[in-house]
Structure 1
Amino acid sequence: MSTLELPCEGSCRCGQVRLKIDAKPLLTMACHCTGCQRMTAGPYSLSAAIPSEGFEVTEGEPVIGGLHGDAIHHYFCPHCMSWLFTKLEGVDWFVNVRATMLNDVGWFTPFMETWTSEKLPWVTTPAKHSYAALPAMDEYEGLIGEYMAGN
């Protein structure tokens, strides 16, 4: 396992959209919801919550995909359709970056997993915290503190 070296760059599969992070994650997650399963064609999505000021699209113009019209905006490459990151409407202090889009992902381990009520029965992760849906809003401050203290 390696350590996250900042800045860290990444891209979509075809390379037309490039991004850079230069802040440590607030949390790392595996989401088991059926929406993530369908968008990744896998058992879960992996993301790192990056402080907004530490995230930048350096090349290309991502487009919103996934569900339209809700408060969750999933951004994709318009050419290869790789899912790059997610922003929550009205929550501008972090961006959920798909960890596997970064050039170096060896540092990544999910700290928490969400929507385990929808996970495939054979899936396991090394996450320290598991939630049937999402943590209560008042739990995030403690989770972020715990994650950042250990990373």
Structure 2
Amino acid sequence: MNDIQYPLKGACQCGSITYQLTEPPLKVIACHCRQCQKLSTSAFSITALVKTESLVIEGELKFWERLADSGNVNGAAFCPNCGNRIYHFNPADPDHIKLKPSTLEDTRVIQPSSHVWVVEKQDWFEIPDGVPTHQRQS
């Protein structure tokens, strides 16, 4: 992954929201909780934890929030036109954003360093050997 050149460009499905990620993610996590399954309409959702300052966004986002099992607020930023989620955030941690990296043009950064909420994992999905797992949140 050393050949990935930053900044990386990203966008929502309709192109109304564009952004640049100026530095590599701190970590990439696959979450298997039921809420992420609903979000992704798949077996899990991928999140790239990035520094807030490393994300430069153009376009006007809409926001939605829900209370997580941890008691933290899980906010979502998305395109008001196509509904594509761009990132999640916790207002109590303003220095970090949970980018939805499938919105990047270059998706090679999507290599999960851990899997969380595997207690709710779909039975048919096999986590690769050697990747750390956590029954709930890490």
> TM-score band (shorter)?
0.7 to 0.9
Farther-moved stretch of structure 1 (59-68 vs 33-42): 59-68
Please tell me whether the aligned partners of residues 110 and 125 of structure 1 are also in contact (alpha carbons under 8 angstroms). Answer: no
What is the CA–CA distance in structure 2 between the aligned matches of 1:97 and 1:3, rounded to whole Å?
Answer: 21
Residue 2 of structure 1: how far off its partner (Å):
7.7
What is the CA–CA distance in structure 1 between the aligned matches of 2:75 and 2:93, rounded to whole Å?
Answer: 11
What residue number does 2:64 align with?
65
What is the CA–CA distance in structure 2 between the aligned matches of 1:12 and 1:95, rounded to whole Å?
Answer: 16
Q: What's the CA shift string for 1:1-46, capped at 9, x where partnerless?
A: 7843200010011110111110111111101111111011111111
List aligned pairs for 1:4-83, cutoff 5 A: 4-57=4-57, 59-65=58-64, 67=66, 71-83=73-85
Identity %: 24
Gaps of 5+ in 2: none
Q: What's the CA shift string for 1:41-65, capped at 9, x where partnerless?
A: 11111111111111121x2111113
Q: Which has the higher helix share?
A: 1
Q: CA RMSD in A?
A: 2.0
Letter in 1 for 2:114: M
What residue number does 2:102 align with?
100
TM-score, normalised via structure 1 length: 0.81
What residue number does 2:135 align with?
132
Report the 3-state secondary structure (helix = DSSP H, G, I; strand = E; otherwise coil) of the residue aligned with 1:47.
strand
TM-score, normalised via structure 2 length: 0.88
What is the CA–CA distance in structure 2 between the aligned matches of 1:66 and 1:82, rounded to whole Å?
Answer: 15
Report the 3-state secondary structure (helix = DSSP H, G, I; strand = E; otherwise coil) of the residue aligned with 1:46.
strand
Gaps of 5+ in 1: 136-151
